[in-house]
Copies of this chain bind each other. A is one copy, B any other.
Amino acid sequence: MNRKATVGVDVGGTNTAIGIVDAIGNVLVKDNIETPSHGDIDQYITDLANAIKALIKSVKVVNPEIEILGIGVGAPNGNYYNGTIEYAPNLSFKGVIHFVSLLREKFPDLQAVALTNDANAAAIGEMIYGGAKNIKNFVMYTLGTGVGSGVVVNGDLVYGHDGFAGECGHTTLIPGGRACGCGARGHLEAYCSAPGMKRTAFEIMARENAGDSLLADKSFKDLNSKMIYDAAEKGDKVALEVFEQTGKWLGQGLADTVHHLSPEAIFLFGGPTAAGDYIFKPTLASMEAHLLPIFKNKIKILPSELKPGDAAIVGASALAWKELDK
C-alpha cells in the first residue's frame, strides 16, 4: 500500500473536482464542489479546504499511515509563478486571485501548494504518471472546448517570463480566418477544438449541400464531436472529411511547434482523440508535409496515457509531486 499521496484540484467553470492521488497516479478518493457563480472567493476557499480535509479524513480511515504531502491546482489562466488565477474569462472571480496563498493559510503544514493552468497540469501528469515518463522534451495538446497546451523542455515545464507560456492553441493557422474565443481570428483553437470540428462540419455541409449527411438533422447548437465520430464510423462522407480537414489543420499547428521546440513527441489529449486513426493519421501526414527535412519522420504524435475522466485531477496532483521533487 502506498504511504504517500498528493491532492489534485481541478477548477472548472461550473465544478471543482478534487482527488487524492498516490505516487503512481491512482485516484484513491474524489469529490466535487460547485465553483461558485457569485465570485465570493473566501467562501469558496473555505468550502474547498473543507472538502479536501473531508477527503483526507476518509482516505485515512482505509489507510491510517498515509501522508498527504501537497496540493496541486489546475485552473484556467492559472499562473505558476504567482500562484494566481488571473482574469479567467469563464470564472466568476474577477481580476487577480491569490489562490495559492489563500489555500496555503488553510494547510500551513503541507510541503507544497502550487497552481498552474489546466493544460500545463495535464502535461506534468503525462510526465509523472503517463506516456512521457522517459521523455524529456515533449508538448501536450489538450483538445476540448478549447485547445490548451503544455511545453516541456529538458524535463521542466516552460512557464515563460510571466508564467503563462504554452498557449499553442492560439497559433494562427489561417490569417483573418474563423473567430476565436479569445477575440482574434484564425487561431488553431477555432479549428481543432471540439466546437471547431462542429464548425467544420457545418462548413462542409454548406459547401456540398449535403442534405443526405447523418449530421444534416442536427442544429448548430446540438451537434458535437461525438456525433461526428459516430457518423464517421457509419461512413458518413461529411464526418470523414471533418476528421481529414481537422487533421490537416492540427498537423500544420504541430509543425509550428516542432519548428520552435523539436520535441521528441507531441501528446494529444481530449475528446476528439478518441477517434483514433481518424484524427491521428491526417494530423501526422499534415505535420510531416509542413516540416523541414531535418525534422521529418522522427517526431511522434502520441495519444495521452492519462485516463480521460481523472486526467484533470491527476494532472493537478502531479504538479504537487513535481514541486516536492525540486
Contact = CB atoms under 8 A, between A and B. Distances in A.
Interface of A: 77, 86-87, 135-137, 151, 153-154, 156, 158-175, 182-184, 252, 255-257, 259-264, 289-295, 298
A251 to B, nearest CB: 10
A171 B259 contact: yes
A86 B294 contact: yes
B77 A294 contact: yes
A184 B262 contact: no
Per DSSP, chain A at the interface is loop
Contacts of A167: 259-260, 262, 292, 294-295
Contacts of A137: 160-161
Interface centre among A135, A168, A171, A257 (most CB of B within 10 A): A171
Nearest to A88: B294
A243 to B, nearest CB: 18
B170 A259 contact: yes
A255 B172 contact: yes
A80 to B, nearest CB: 11
A298 B183 CA distance: 18
Nearest to A77: B294
A256 B132 CA distance: 24
A165 B152 CA distance: 13
B87 A294 contact: yes
Given A165-B262, A172-B252, 20 more contacts: A86-B294, A135-B161, A151-B260, A164-B262, A167-B259, A168-B259, A168-B260, A169-B259, A170-B259, A170-B291, A170-B292, A171-B256, A172-B173, A172-B255, A172-B290, A182-B293, A184-B289, A184-B291, A256-B260, A260-B261
